[in-house]
Structure 1
Amino acid sequence: MQRYKNLSGESGVLAYEIGDRSITIRFTGGDRYLYTDQSAGADNIAEMQRLATLGSGLSTFISQVVKERYARKLD
């Protein structure tokens, strides 16, 4: 996984891994979640991937838009 830049210094996201039509997020508490086109919608996954690469806004986007629409919790 790639470390999230966390430009604000206040994000709940620690790391991410971009996949084909998916993104895996590790939150600061250690939990990992897989989000897919099917679970969260293709447009939302594209935006999550963009924000992850940017290093800003990902945690807010998840909490306000995507919410609990993950495909599964990992580990």
Structure 2
Amino acid sequence: MERYRNVSGDSGVAAYEIGDDYVAVRFKTGVAYWYTEASVGVKHVAALKRLARRGQGLSTYISQHPDVSGGYERKDPDD
């Protein structure tokens, strides 16, 4: 995973990984969530990719969109 830039300095996101049809987000708690086009939709995955690359707004976007925050496909505390 790539370290999240955290432009604002107060994000709960530590790292992310971008694939063709998913974004994996590791929070500072150590838990990683996979958001896929199948689980949250193409529009949301595109937004997550953009925000991850920008290093700002990723955690806020996830928390403000219930279909994203509850729509992860996989949760992995060990990866």
> 2:44 and 2:27 mapped to 1: Cα distance?
18
Q: Distance in 1 between matches of 2:15 and 2:58?
A: 11
Distance in 1, matches of 2:24 and 2:37, equals 12
Partner of 1:24 in structure 2? 24
Aligned to 1:39: 39
Sequence identity (%): 53
Matches within 5 A, 1:53-72: 53-65=53-65, 66-72=68-74
Normalized against structure 1, the TM-score is what? Answer: 0.96
Displacement of 1:72 in angstroms is: 1.0
Structure 2: how far apart are the matches of 1:7 and 1:68?
25
- TM-score, normalisation: structure 2: 0.91
What do you get for the CA RMSD once the two structures are aligned? 0.7
After superposing on structure 2, the runs of 4+ consecutive aligned residues of structure 1 that deviate more than 2 Å are: none
Unaligned runs of 5+ in 1: none
